[in-house]
Amino acid sequence: MKMMNVSKGNMYGFVTHTWNAIKGKCSHDCGYCYMKVFGELKPLKLDKNELKSDLGNGNFIFVGSSTDMFANDVNFDWISDVIYHCNKFDNKYLFQSKNPKRMLSCVNSLCEKDSILGTTIETNRVYPEMGNTTIPYERAYFMRRARELGYATMITIEPIMDFDLEDFVAMLRYARPLWVNIGADSKNHNLKEPEYKKILLLKEKLEDFTEVKKKINLKRIESKENIGDE
């Protein structure tokens, strides 16, 4: 029987496990995707053996951590099968997507369990490294819709890329996330990154309306500039 994986490495500290039944190359093709370190990825598929997994009870499971299971080319029946399996167990689930419009539609119609919905918004700008994703403002809009429907939501700014401070803060305020994670590029993709003092200003402004969780990989940017956080 297949089993979920214990969360480790650069994953979220609040997640206990990850589980991936839909596997293969994500059509968003982000230039910084951590899965690319494993070489050429295979075409998308539903691993039906994973649908035999015992997901246990009382866990916090990130479902679909290795590919975006809500990308437009993912078969809806696969998504339905994954969520149906989640509904068999008493856990908290994190669903995260750069296509939050489809994610919200699927989870809202299929999931019976308490779920956290998340998206990545690296910046308010559009950079080529962001691949074939929806633009940041669209992601923020549908996260706002998720909150209005009663979901707990989070936004991950990782890998953080240079941004326009006031515009970025306004976008995130509109989205109304319960918390925001901030993290840096961990795989040396030479992204256009903000100065650390600018990240601290962002954190300060975000804390006016939401909780901010800093990921440990921000230490690289901090140490490069030798600036301590308060």
Mean pLDDT across 166-193: 95
104 within some domain: yes
8 A C-beta contact, residue 67 and residue 24 = yes
DSSP 31: T
Which domain, by its residues, includes 207?
5-225
pLDDT at 82: 98
Q: Is residue 21 part of a domain?
A: yes
DSSP for 61-92? EEET-SS-TTSTTS-HHHHHHHHHHHTTS--E
pTM of the model: 0.91
CB contact at 8 A, 30 and 44: no
Q: Is residue 180 part of a domain?
A: yes
Tell me, yes or no, whether 103 lies in a domain: yes
- Residue with the bigger pLDDT between 8 and 93: it is 93
pLDDT bucket at 222, cuts 50 / 70 / 90: confident
Tokens 């093709």 belong to which residue? 29
Q: Tell me the pLDDT tens digit for each residue of 69-108.
A: 999 999 999 999 999 999 999 999 999 999 999 999 999 9
CATH code where residue 24 lies: 3.20.20.70
Preceding omega of 159 cis (within 30 degrees of 0): yes
Residue 130 lies in a domain: yes
For residue 105, what pLDDT is reported?
97
Strand bridging mode 17-19 / 60-63: parallel
The answer to whether residue 230 is domain-embedded is no
| Structural domain count, the chain | 1
**Residue whose pair of structure tokens reads 């919200």 in the numeric block:** 104
| Mean of the per-residue pLDDT values of the chain | 92
pLDDT at 35: 66
